[in-house]
Structure 1
């Protein structure tokens, strides 16, 4: 694991580097001691503090990385906390770290996410955002949905270094290739795995890709993982923050929005919470004309509705296959094979809403 993260980001004057790693398998206090040592290195004004002076607290949000806040105990507002993000083991199986780290400096410069302070062997140090992480139920609130729509549009209008080719099908194929050749020591997991038809999944991928090509949807820089844990709101300023761009890339606009709508269901996959057409149109109005009150035409709304809901369908397949890979490699106590079953089940249920999938993959105009 050594210096992989460091090697992936070109030298930059404002980014510090450290060869040390944090071992998340250590007892909590021993791990926190390593984190405090890193913090003293990255924040030079903390170099004289000892372990008793620095507090460490976990931050909730994702199911991939360990995220912690480090702060000076009893400090005034001049001593800003920092965030330590420790990459989960085997996350390179599902995350393109090189792509993430190449984009992060530009994203930070444009005001997206926390500022990158430095890299260590298995993670990164960032500024701390004093805001509340959203819960799934928050995203359906009209005032929050409007904030999200405007910030997503701002992201989609931002130029970020990297390939301008949509990465969706490349990433799906990467997950599929990994998922189709794994095995499990756990006999129960192996039995569930053997029941998966990869021929069926592969046929669905090809069908969806043909429809996607026919749609010719706009390609923009996307977050690709707009779940509630990656959205924060500052209650005082009413500012919405997008964080954790691990899956960020140039991609289809509709995928980012449709994927976000799927996340209304939370990890429990309660798809009765998927936004109806009225709620989606509310989001679209703020997305399409986020800088003014210009009326949005019915044609614009309907076109984005078709685009978004098609890619919401693709999103189910994307994360279903991702779930198989995570079931094999992730040490997190989460039933990823059940997550696959729920996502693929919802995909099969919802694909009937798109009759053109079975009509020579032609999109009706």
Structure 2
């Protein structure tokens, strides 16, 4: 199912036309409007779907096309949507991650909005340090019945979900500790959802903490267990970081484009702002930062997810995630500085984009634990 260049170009063209329509509608921070546009994106096949009978199952962001074809179309769509609204792009991204975790299992109906949870408050479950991190959700057995309990943080979705995919840990004296991937309907008794208040960045994304209070679990709701479940989790985390980086790239492109347009229209001291060396330094640094993030995302974009070696995927994703803070944040800041004091006014949009990249910088993985993941991969490589 390798995606041809023609199919990729068609999908990109569709995404650009859709993005122009979405921007004209004033999507930026209007959640109700965003949900309406999300439905249109679903009709166009840009949104991943849990049903194998729907086009989005293959063509949607992080759909089967990314698993068996290549990752480039999903990365491109997210960066294009990130130019008009990082929050809207994150809605599409969140649905894709959940469908990727589901992997076609016939659990939820077509068009079901899904949320995926794995994050505890103790760190990311990758590497040696991650292996000892406290589990956000635990799967326990009592009198022959399985129960879920605990808290998973910062679940994201396009709106109030109809279903949840949750990664939990089970401790069994005979088998030791193992991971499990669990699918639950939103109406399952014992689920308590704590929607988060409006955030500074990615405002239109539905985001919540999920609490499990002794949820009885039917065995058929466990989709994966053990090493297979943990490997799926690490794959999901890697794709999450790559998607966030692609969205941040779109934010850079929009910020730099508008900063250049402003600098070529405004005068200071009798000459265009863009002719001032200080402004040229700001723009030049932003161009460099954009190019670095583009180069990182290009590294394995033409490979399918199933063809990328596990350690290679994690290193690529960790590098891309760190680049959000080290390059995207600086690029947007420098673009904003070109406007001087006007850059801080909401009317120009730079302040909102800076809040978006600030959120992406730490969402689902702070920089220091990710640097430790990279250091561990290097140590493993040296030993080999």
TM-score class, shorter: under 0.3
In proportion to residue count, which structure has more helix? 2
TM-score (norm 1): 0.27
TM-score (norm 2): 0.26
